[in-house]
Amino acid sequence: MAHEHNNHDHDHEHDDHITLIDEDGNELDFTIVQYLEVDNKGYAVLLPEDDPESGAVIFRVETENGEEVLYDIEDDDEFQKVIDALEEEDWSDLDEE
């Protein structure tokens, strides 16, 4: 089921945390791990702050009315393209931090 998370403001260059509101009105805090573009579409990789061991989540980022909205990726092929792009990334900079 698709849902949007739109109660957030952030600047890609400066913020590394984001709070999303889920379908049930619960606030969820995430660390922004990565923004990337695949096939001219934007994606955000987020790590839940309350349970980082559960793994990251990936959302498609779209701009609506001047505001960024995050959507679940429901298409398996689209999701795989994002995973492939992430696997090609050079993560050595993160290891040094």
Other C-beta atoms lying within 10 Å of the C-beta of residue 43: 23
Tell the residue number behind the tokens 């890609």, with chain if given.
12
When mean pLDDT is compared across 43-47, 69-73, 86-90, the lowest value belongs to: 86-90
Q: Give me the residue spans of the domains in the chain.
A: 4-90
Q: Tell whether the model's pLDDT for residue 76 goes beyond 60.
A: yes
> For the segment 7-61, what is each residue's pLDDT rounded down to a tens digit?
444 444 446 899 988 889 999 999 999 999 999 999 999 999 999 899 999 999 9
How do strand 4-5 and strand 17-21 relate by DSSP bridges? unpaired
**Cα gap 51→81, rounded to integer Å:** 26
pLDDT of residue 66: 92
Q: The whole model's pTM is what? A: 0.73
pLDDT tier at 90 (50, 70, 90 boundaries)?
low
pLDDT at 2 over 80: no
E runs forming strands in 7-93: 17-21, 27-38, 41-48, 57-64, 67-72
Count of CB atoms situated within 10 Å of the CB of 20: 19
